[in-house]
Structure 1
Amino acid sequence: MKKIVIIITLVLCITGCKKHVENNAEINTKPNIIWLMAEDISTDLECYGTPAVKTPNLNKLASQGVKFENCFVTNPICSPSRSAMMLGVHQNKSNTHNHRSNREVPLDLTYKPLTYWLRNEGYTTIIGHHSVLKKGRKTDVNFKHSQIGPWDGKENFGLFDKYDTFEKEDQPFFAHIQLKATHRGDWWDKIRENSKHPVNPDEVVLPPYMADHPTVRLDWAKYLDQMEFIDDEVGMIVNELEEKGMAHNTIIIFIGDNGRCNIKGKGYLHDPGLHIPFIVYDPRDTGARGAINKQVISSTDITATVLDYAGVKIPDYVTGTPIFSKDFNRTYVFGARDLWDEVEEKSRAVTSGQWKYIKNYKPEIPYEAHQAYLEFYRPAVHVMRTLKLEGKLNEDESFFFNDKKPVEELYNLEQDPHELNNLANNSDYDIIKSTLQKELQQYEDAYAPISDTYNPVHPIAVDVLKWVKDEQPEEYQKMLSGIEIGWDKSIKGYKESLK
């Protein structure tokens, strides 16, 4: 009898020890990382205080993780911003700052993509997701690359290992998933039509620089409909993690790739173009639940943080710093705007979260530059152009439509979050302006491009818009009235006309 008891005790002890070892092994396993990148969004989420929109899944991530209130991208346009995050280095420094340029030019061998280092640490790298809109596979970076395959920067330029699915055997994995719905597209109307509770245009709160017009309100409501759609996608991904038993060891990062595609947003160095939502949920860090972080964050810091999570020694060229490291202490984010389609531009900015200084090197190019692609997707611009001609815009609403940009802009973001009061010519703020001018120049010197190679791509939107004007005059008049005539339909018609 004693022998039986001893044997049972030994078995239980061995079993318990085995489970303890397994549990410790799970705890010590490198974390999986999912980087959710929503396209073209500012901080227009319920958890950031935006009225009329419901984002319960992102609210939950924020309440169980860390919500950052002062995160800024380094460029307000998708491909330069994505290039900076993929490399962890400011896009100007790596010569990836001109939109849709240098796509066939290999990176200087100084730089390597984020996923190169993750692979070296044993990570499976994944692009896209099987259930989100359009599969979420966008990379859109301004250097030679392919989505799948190995990387050596000389003959092999693959960024990821596989598409769309994360499984237990992929662990540890890094999944880069694009949430495309918020990018303007012909799907906006369909998503609104299929919504069980479309956002009420009467309930939205417009920024004071936008005209209070029914078309503008409806366009804003449609934008918030897309927010609710991607929130559902976030919930779906979280549920999949739980069903596959990987939620306990998977960090979820949620950001925008640049600001909202609207007036003073995407493409411009004002806060709606640079200021993005940023939420980090780490299930292993129970002490961080519901934290609100007000530190100034650059999007390249997010890249450094991912590398740090994975145990990668941060490469010397990286211009970001791991956010949760003890020595993290950022004062400014350096923002830059250069080529965007056919508009040759050069503007620079530094922001401290409290102060923003912008230097416009080409003030003769107005903010409202009649860029071809945007003509298809900005009803508010068309409506407000007409109101401007009719003398029905106030000073704040007219700013975006002035014939020139100011050479310099200075804003107190705490007192003037919508950047309405330009203090650049107010002598009371000369000391602040001088300080920011010096900071800007130091960034420009430090982040001077490593190369002057410049191979832009001709934007087909220029040709499509001309075709619409010449061959579809009725459709063009609809566009001018604030009706979206459809980019997909227009480009299809243009291509058929060439046959």
Structure 2
Amino acid sequence: MAVGNRPNIIFIMADDHASKSISCYGAGINHTPNLDRLATEGMRFNHCYVTNSICTPSRAAILTGTHNHVNGVMTLNSKINKHMPNVAKHLRSGGYQTAMVGKWHLGEGKDHEPTGFDYWSVVPGQGEYHDPQFIGPDGISRESGYATDIITDKSLNWIRNRDVDRPFFLMCHHKAPHRSWEYDPKHHHLYTEPVRLPDTFTDDYKNRAKAAKVAKMRVAEDLTYMDLGLAQPDGGSDVVGPKMIDAWWWHDRKVPAPKDVTKLRLIDKQDGTVFTFETPEELAEFKFQRYMQRYLRTIQSVDDNVGRTLDFLDAEGLAENTIVIYTSDQGFFLGEHGWFDKRFMYEESFQMPFLIRYPREIAAGTICDDIICNVDFAPTFLDFAQLRVPTYMQGATFRELLRQKTPSDWQQVAYHRYWMHRDVIHEAYAHYGVRDQRYKLIYWYNEDFGLEGTRPGGEEKEWELFDCEKDPLELFNCWHEPEYREVVDKMTKLLEDKMREIGDEPVHTYVPTK
């Protein structure tokens, strides 16, 4: 097939980019004009969800179109089997040129390297922000510069040198804005004005499962000196703060949160500015503002480089016949419930940004409120490429949604399962659940199944039900409320039906109320 009959596809994915920090989503905390351009010239999704809110499993689900119990990539330490089928292999065998650039994070070495790609150049592990290393078929090299710029340079250079007689598929995966939020120095002047504290920043976790209270991802207590760009002094935990990981080889420590903060002096590692505090609340808000500054500045480089990509497509005459997608591998907490990080099925972590532009088929400035999931991406790519969607894929193409037509049989349901019970850093509990257009059901089963990177369970099992229409901040668990008994029955049936459909094995025992 000629290029003109099938679109090129550019899939740009950031790491840990919350929808709230893309200005077209309306939170008003930063300005991302180039990402907004995708929404203005295409479609914005408000209800795109991740099936497992952690980097490695999400990437496997996107690449294969399957849930993690099927592709075998269930935890952060999992590695993908290179012989497994994936969307790039199908596109390449169907005539597309394919490339993977940036963060891979699905394992390293010959058994886990990217497959299905004509060209690949990926960062080892989490990668570095400054002067990063890259791994390719010919080995390891180090590139001078800032990671977001370099990843974009490599992506655009590959497009320039492509075979112009065939369509192309590019996965451009940025490291940013992943922890530890090391921004390009040219953006140091940005976001110096305070960001409004989230309404739930001082959440006391009442009326919720135990998992919410015990998680170690609180802005006020669990951010480190490196996270906040502060100089770490010498000393023991009573002076410096506890280690993020209790191991002899780990040196990064959490910034203290003492009851008496008046003796605490924190020093900016770049310019030596000294910060002092009068109250614990003042210290907690300082950490939040510092975190947000660094996070938003890394995003500015992402936005700049999305702009470079869109301008390049215009200059090369490729914009009309190229699908451009921007998303993140999951959501992220920006101080909501007092947290940073992800992992949980609570909305800020569960919901992914998703922006898509394709002038030939998607009307400009449209918004979709239907539910899609990251396992749906691969089937959609194949649909646009006019290729058969293989039967092993568990997602569904949402091409009709892009045409503003919702199929009568479209499943308005998102399934999530987080397997990493009590990971060594964050103490997040294992859970699964479903969300429909109004309600969210979560079962905290708190078991590790012997998976690498997890610790034994034994904690009490708990259910949570949230009415996302009446309680969008997810502060009140309705599971035990009499007026929600029919909803509990309905949502539990929805959960069990979905688990049967995708072949995931439940560990709960549920007896309907009637």
Measured against the shorter chain, the TM-score band is 0.5 to 0.7
Q: Please give the alpha-carbon distance, in whole angstroms, between the structure 1 residues aligned to 2:73 and 2:172.
A: 22
1:174 alignment partner, one of 169, 179, 189: 169
Q: Go from structure 1 to structure 2 and tell me whether the alpha carbon gap of 1:323 and 1:124 turns closer, same or farther (over 3 Å shift).
A: same
Pair 1:42 & 2:18 matched: yes
Pair 1:351 & 2:435 matched: yes
Q: Go from structure 1 to structure 2 and tell me whether the alpha carbon gap of 1:447 and 1:94 turns closer, same or farther (over 3 Å shift).
A: farther
Residue aligning to 2:343: 267
Structure 2 counterpart SS, 1:146:
coil
Tell me the number of residue pairs that the alignment of Structure 1 and Structure 2 aligns. Answer: 369
Pair 1:70 & 2:47 matched: yes
Pair 1:339 & 2:398 matched: no
**1:100-499 mapped onto 2 (5 Å cutoff):** 100-103=77-80, 105=81, 112-128=85-101, 136-140=102-106, 144-147=111-114, 164=155, 165-167=158-160, 168-169=162-163, 171-185=166-180, 188-191=181-184, 193-195=185-187, 197-210=189-202, 213-260=285-332, 263=339, 265-285=341-361, 288-325=363-400, 327=407, 329-339=410-420, 342=424, 345-362=429-446, 407-448=462-503
Pair 1:57 & 2:24 matched: no
Structure 1 counterpart SS, 2:464:
strand
Q: Go from structure 1 to structure 2 and tell me whether the alpha carbon gap of 1:444 and 1:201 turns closer, same or farther (over 3 Å shift).
A: farther
Q: Please give the alpha-carbon distance, in whole angstroms, between the structure 2 residues aligned to 1:261 and 1:89.
A: 25
Matched to 1:301, the amino acid is D
Residue aligning to 1:97: 74
2:88–2:116 contact (8 Å) kept in structure 1: no
Structure 2 counterpart SS, 1:147:
coil
Q: Please give the alpha-carbon distance, in whole angstroms, between the structure 2 residues aligned to 1:138 and 1:307.
A: 21
If the length of structure 2 is used for normalisation, what is the TM-score?
0.65
Q: Go from structure 1 to structure 2 and tell me whether the alpha carbon gap of 1:70 and 1:141 turns closer, same or farther (over 3 Å shift).
A: farther
Structure 2 counterpart SS, 1:312:
coil
1:78-111 superposed Cα distances (whole Å, 9 cap, x missing partner): 11111111101111233322332255x566xxx5
Matched to 1:244, the amino acid is E
1:70–1:297 contact (8 Å) kept in structure 2: yes
Residue aligning to 2:280: none
Q: Go from structure 1 to structure 2 and tell me whether the alpha carbon gap of 1:314 and 1:36 turns closer, same or farther (over 3 Å shift).
A: same
Structure 1 counterpart SS, 2:68:
coil
Q: Please give the alpha-carbon distance, in whole angstroms, between the structure 1 residues aligned to 2:430 and 2:454.
A: 15
1:337–1:348 contact (8 Å) kept in structure 2: yes
Gaps of 5+ in 2: 119-135, 139-153, 203-219, 221-283, 506-514
Q: Please give the alpha-carbon distance, in whole angstroms, between the structure 2 residues aligned to 1:405 and 1:414.
A: 28
Matched to 2:367, the amino acid is I
Matched to 2:478, the amino acid is L
Q: Please give the alpha-carbon distance, in whole angstroms, between the structure 2 residues aligned to 1:67 and 1:233.
A: 19
Residue aligning to 2:121: none
Structure 2 counterpart SS, 1:52:
coil
Shift of 1:243: 2.5
Q: Please give the alpha-carbon distance, in whole angstroms, between the structure 2 residues aligned to 1:302 and 1:197.
A: 37
Structure 1 residue runs of 4+, over 4 Å off? 141-144, 148-151, 160-163, 340-345, 403-406
Q: Go from structure 1 to structure 2 and tell me whether the alpha carbon gap of 1:72 and 1:30 turns closer, same or farther (over 3 Å shift).
A: same
Structure 2 counterpart SS, 1:169:
coil
Shift of 1:273: 1.5
Q: Please give the alpha-carbon distance, in whole angstroms, between the structure 2 residues aligned to 1:59 and 1:420.
A: 30
Residue aligning to 2:58: 81
Q: Go from structure 1 to structure 2 and tell me whether the alpha carbon gap of 1:93 and 1:137 turns closer, same or farther (over 3 Å shift).
A: closer
If the length of structure 1 is used for normalisation, what is the TM-score?
0.67
Matched residues, percent identical? 27
Q: Which has the larger radius of gyration?
A: 1
Q: Please give the alpha-carbon distance, in whole angstroms, between the structure 2 residues aligned to 1:41 and 1:438.
A: 32
Q: Go from structure 1 to structure 2 and tell me whether the alpha carbon gap of 1:147 and 1:207 turns closer, same or farther (over 3 Å shift).
A: farther
Q: Please give the alpha-carbon distance, in whole angstroms, between the structure 2 residues aligned to 1:190 and 1:42.
A: 17
Shift of 1:124: 0.6
2:89–2:115 contact (8 Å) kept in structure 1: no
Gaps of 5+ in 1: 1-23, 129-135, 152-159, 365-369, 373-402, 451-499
Matched to 2:9, the amino acid is I
Q: Go from structure 1 to structure 2 and tell me whether the alpha carbon gap of 1:67 and 1:344 turns closer, same or farther (over 3 Å shift).
A: closer
Structure 2 counterpart SS, 1:260:
coil
Q: Go from structure 1 to structure 2 and tell me whether the alpha carbon gap of 1:149 and 1:354 turns closer, same or farther (over 3 Å shift).
A: closer
1:356–1:411 contact (8 Å) kept in structure 2: yes
Q: Please give the alpha-carbon distance, in whole angstroms, between the structure 1 residues aligned to 2:411 and 2:111.
A: 31
Matched to 1:292, the amino acid is I
2:10–2:323 contact (8 Å) kept in structure 1: yes
Q: Go from structure 1 to structure 2 and tell me whether the alpha carbon gap of 1:126 and 1:139 turns closer, same or farther (over 3 Å shift).
A: farther
Structure 1 counterpart SS, 2:355:
strand
Q: Normalized per residue, which structure has more helix?
A: 1
Matched to 1:291, the amino acid is T
Q: Please give the alpha-carbon distance, in whole angstroms, between the structure 2 residues aligned to 1:25 and 1:123.
A: 10
Matched to 2:417, the amino acid is A
Q: CA RMSD of the aligned region, Å?
A: 3.3
1:169-201 superposed Cα distances (whole Å, 9 cap, x missing partner): 25311000112121113xx3443x421641135
Q: Please give the alpha-carbon distance, in whole angstroms, between the structure 2 residues aligned to 1:221 and 1:102.
A: 33
Structure 2 counterpart SS, 1:180:
coil
